[in-house]
Every structure is written in C-alpha cells, then in structure tokens.
Amino acid sequence: MEIKKQNEKNTNGSEAVKYWALMGLFLLLLIQTPNAASEPPIQEKECLIYAYTESDVHYFLLESNKSAFGTNMTIKHNCEYIEVFINGTFSAYTEQEIIQFPLQVGINNIEIFTENYSKRIDSVFIYPDRLSWQFEYDDWKNTNNDYSFDEFILRSKATAAENWASILSIVMVFTLTTMVYWNLINSYVDRNFCEEVKE
C-alpha cells in the first residue's frame, strides 16, 4: 500500500511537472507573440520640401498657377540633398536645409529633385517686391529738390473741394433747367393767350 501511494505521488508529481512546464511554455509563447507583433516597422523619413518668397514681413508660399511678391526664393527641406531647376536650367544643388537665390520677375517653372522625390511648381508669376516703393519714394524726395512738399494738400481738403464742386454743379443744372422750362412755358402762353376786349 505504501508502494502504491509512492507510485501515485511519483506519477502525480511527474504529471504536475509536465503540466507546469506546458503552462510555462504556453505563457512564454503568449508573452513573446505580442512583442514581436508590436514592433513598429522601420519607416523611411518622408522628404518634405517647400518654397516661398518674402516681401518685408509677408511670406508667399509658391504653388503652381499662383502669384507671389518678392524676387528672392527660399527653399526649406529635410531631404539628404536637392537639385533645383528654374525654367529648365540647373540652378542649385545643396545638402543644406535652407537655400536662397533670386528669381526673375514674370512666369517661372520650378522643379526640385531629390533621390526618390520630385516637386514641380509650374507657371508661378513673380511680382517685384511690392513694398520697395518706400525706398523709391525716399530716393525721389532726396533727389528732386525742385518741388516743395508744402504744396501738397490734405486728403480732407481735397474731399471737401470735390463735395463743393458736386453741390455747385447740381445747383447750376437745376437753375439752367428751370430757366429753359420757364421760357418754353412763357412762349407757349404768350402765343396762345387771348384777351377779351369790352366795348
């Protein structure tokens, strides 16, 4: 009887060891499977390129069939390198993240190439720096000494003169129209006036 109990204990013990070994193996598989699936795939860094011009503190993003002010173009990117072609002509190659160079006034076609990415900006119309008038005005003011700036009038005075001119023209038109109608009516009455005479 004691031998039977020992055999049963040995059998139960070996089964318990097998059971726990299988459970450990199962848990090990469960733990490792999600980790393998949760590893993010290796992604290549996306290449981002954009170009803009600037005029004083205003910035104009360059896109196809659009207009922009300013003749200095800036290109920013995060690619390894870029090649820039303007109107079919090679203009620049750089590995720096920012590059600046001039554009011609008028319609421009811009192509930007890198290893596996390209960007086209077709028919962008470039206007000259619109805010350069201040420099031109100061230059004109300093070089033209023939004119006195005291001769200029205020906008309010010019507007008042325009208003008076409008009022006087309305009065003149009313007066002339009234006089013409008055004369027409008088001539009609004089022609058709009959006076009765008593004897």
pLDDT tens readout for residues 24-40? 777 777 776 544 455 55
User: Looking at the 3D structure of the chain, how many domains does it have?
Assistant: 2
Domain assignment of residue 21, yes or no: yes
Domain assignment of residue 151, yes or no: no
Quick one: pLDDT at residue 192? Answer: 77
Quick one: pLDDT at residue 85? Answer: 93
Domain assignment of residue 118, yes or no: yes
Alpha-carbon span 86 to 32, nearest angstrom: 55
Give the 3-state secondary structure of residue 131: helix
Q: Provide the whole-model pTM.
A: 0.46
**Which residue, chain included where needed, has tokens 């596996």?**
116
| One domain for residues 28 and 55 | no
Quick one: pLDDT at residue 151? Answer: 63
End-to-end CA distance of the chain: 179
Distances (CA, A) of 88 to 109, 110, 142, 175: 8, 8, 42, 70
| One domain for residues 53 and 126 | yes
Are the C-beta atoms of residues 97 and 78 closer than 8 Å to each other? yes
| One domain for residues 84 and 121 | yes
| One domain for residues 109 and 84 | yes
Q: Where residue 106 sits, what CATH number does that domain have?
A: 2.60.40
| One domain for residues 61 and 128 | yes
Banded pLDDT at 57 (limits 50, 70, 90): confident
- Look at residues 105, 132, 159 and tell me which one is the last residue of a structural domain: 132
| One domain for residues 17 and 68 | no
**6 or 86: which carries more pLDDT confidence?**
86
Using CB atoms within 10 Å of the CB of residue 110, give its burial: 0 to 12 exposed, 13 to 18 middle, 19+ buried.
buried
The rounded mean pLDDT for the chain is: 80
| One domain for residues 31 and 53 | no
Sheet with 72-77: strands ordered across: 58-61, 49-55, 72-77, 98-102
Domain assignment of residue 192, yes or no: no
- 94 forms beta bridges with 82
**Which residue, chain included where needed, has tokens 């059998």?**
11
Domain assignment of residue 70, yes or no: yes
Task: Give residue 20's domain range.
Answer: 1-35
Domain assignment of residue 168, yes or no: no
- Look at residues 132, 157, 172 and tell me which one is the last residue of a structural domain: 132
If one counts every other C-beta atom within 10 angstroms of the C-beta of residue 189, the result is: 9
pLDDT tens column, 122-178: 999 988 876 666 666 667 677 755 555 556 678 888 899 999 999 999 999 999 999
| One domain for residues 53 and 123 | yes
Domain assignment of residue 149, yes or no: no
- Look at residues 132, 156, 178 and tell me which one is the last residue of a structural domain: 132
Quick one: pLDDT at residue 148? Answer: 53
Label residues 157-176 b or e (16+ Cβ within 10 Å = b). Answer: eeeeeeeeeeeeeeeeeeee
**Which residue, chain included where needed, has tokens 């350069």?**
132
Domain assignment of residue 65, yes or no: yes
- 102 forms beta bridges with 72
Give the 3-state secondary structure of residue 68: strand
